[in-house]
């Protein structure tokens, strides 16, 4: 070893590695804390709409703090008119599915609802495995989302740096690398929503959006899913307060 070795010692590397490991653990724990915070924020919300509104506000607040402290210069490729991600099968929290069904009931005309139900039935029949890509029945002919303001959290928080990769996914089913920060905040938020559902004694799993919407928007006879048995009463109750003259 030469004299210059005093400027570089393996103990310095060990020290830095330990500090980074601890920082990594602290960073990971921030998302656990965020999940707990969002749960606390939403747990007493009266309706799915209130739950999602509070959840969105908490997400925006958290993202602002993260970006201020961990700037990542992430450039999203997502832009208006790009709808590749709207061909993936969408899994959503139950509150998201219920709220979207309520929105469709409240804002789509009877003809629009019938046409949508037909498209959703075709989607359910034709969509194969989890990797199959097909246009979301809520996508318009102009390739925009017909429920944009009420789109589920998973759609709201989808982020890609590479539109070409999204397009290729339509044919090869590849997973899309998303912005790590946005994805981790999303995971914390969805986990909080599912815990809130569980604490309210409700069905607490994410479900496929389109089959879930279909179950809520149509009167199914006989066996229905656990999701539907749990959440349809909430859907019907809120719907009756929104539209008392619909019955």
CB contact set of 91 (below 8 Å; sequence gap of 6+): 154, 206, 207, 208, 209
- Nearest approach, Cβ of residue 139 and ligand SF4 (Å): 4
Q: Compare residues 70 and 131 and give the one whose CB is closer to ligand SF4.
A: 131
Q: Site for ligand SF4 (CB under 6 A): which residue of 124, 145, 170, 242? A: 145
Q: Compare residues 139 and 242 and give the one whose CB is closer to ligand SF4.
A: 139
Binding mask 75-104 for ligand SF4 (x = CB under 6 A): -----------x---x--------------
Q: Site for ligand SF4 (CB under 6 A): which residue of 147, 193, 194, 208? A: 147
Q: Compare residues 34 and 216 and give the one whose CB is closer to ligand SF4.
A: 216
Looking at 6-14, 138-146, 163-171, 195-203, which segment touches ligand SF4 (CB under 6 A)?
Answer: 138-146
Neighbour count for residue 149 (Cβ, 10 Å): 8
Residues in the chain: 247
**Token pair in block for residue 78:** 């997502």
**Do residues 96 and 152 lie in contact, with contact meaning Cβ atoms separated by under 8 Å?**
yes
**Do residues 152 and 51 lie in contact, with contact meaning Cβ atoms separated by under 8 Å?**
no
**Do residues 215 and 233 lie in contact, with contact meaning Cβ atoms separated by under 8 Å?**
no
Q: Compare residues 37 and 83 and give the one whose CB is closer to ligand SF4.
A: 83
Counting Cβ atoms within 10 Å, is residue 238 exposed (0-12), middle (13-18) or buried (19+)? Answer: buried
- Nearest approach, Cβ of residue 128 and ligand SF4 (Å): 17
Q: Compare residues 143 and 240 and give the one whose CB is closer to ligand SF4.
A: 143
Cα 91 to Cα 212: distance, rounded to the nearest angstrom? 10
Cα 7 to Cα 169: distance, rounded to the nearest angstrom? 49
- Nearest approach, Cβ of residue 134 and ligand SF4 (Å): 11
Q: Compare residues 52 and 136 and give the one whose CB is closer to ligand SF4.
A: 136
Cα 26 to Cα 224: distance, rounded to the nearest angstrom? 43
Task: Name 145's bridge partners.
Answer: 139
**Token pair in block for residue 106:** 């409240």
Cα 93 to Cα 115: distance, rounded to the nearest angstrom? 24
| Per CB under 6 A, 217 contacts ligand SF4 | no
* Number of residues forming the site for ligand SF4 (CB under 6 A): 9
Q: Compare residues 55 and 136 and give the one whose CB is closer to ligand SF4.
A: 136
Looking at 8-16, 72-80, 139-147, 189-197, which segment touches ligand SF4 (CB under 6 A)?
Answer: 139-147
Looking at 9-17, 123-131, 135-143, 188-196, which segment touches ligand SF4 (CB under 6 A)?
Answer: 135-143
Q: Which residues bind ligand SF4 (CB under 6 A)?
A: 86, 90, 136, 138-139, 145, 147, 151, 155
């Amino acid at each position: 070893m030469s004299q210059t070795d005093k400027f570089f010692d393996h103990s310095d590397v060990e020290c830095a590695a330990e500090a980074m490991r601890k920082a990594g653990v602290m960073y990971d724990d921030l998302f656990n804390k965020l999940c707990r915070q969002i749960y606390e924020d939403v747990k007493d919300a009266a309706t799915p709409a209130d739950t999602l509104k509070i959840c969105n506000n908490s997400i925006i607040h958290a993202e602002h703090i993260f970006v201020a402290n961990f700037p990542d210069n992430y450039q999203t490729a997502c832009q208006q008119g790009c709808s590749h991600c709207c061909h993936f099968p969408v899994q959503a929290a139950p509150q998201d599915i219920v709220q979207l069904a309520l929105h469709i009931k409240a804002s789509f005309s009877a003809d629009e609802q019938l046409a949508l139900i037909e498209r959703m039935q075709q989607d359910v029949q034709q969509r194969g495995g989890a990797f199959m890509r097909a246009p979301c029945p809520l996508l318009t002919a102009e390739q925009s989302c017909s429920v944009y303001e009420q789109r589920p959290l998973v759609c709201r928080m989808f982020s890609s740096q590479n539109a070409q990769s999204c397009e290729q996914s339509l044919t090869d089913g590849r997973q899309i690398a998303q912005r790590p920060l946005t994805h981790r905040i999303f995971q914390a938020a969805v986990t909080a929503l599912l815990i809130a559902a569980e604490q309210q004694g409700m069905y607490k799993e994410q479900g496929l959006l389109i089959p879930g919407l279909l179950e809520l928007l149509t009167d199914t006879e006989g066996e229905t899913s656990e999701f539907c048995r749990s959440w349809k009463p909430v859907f019907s109750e809120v719907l009756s307060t929104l539209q008392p003259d619909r019955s």
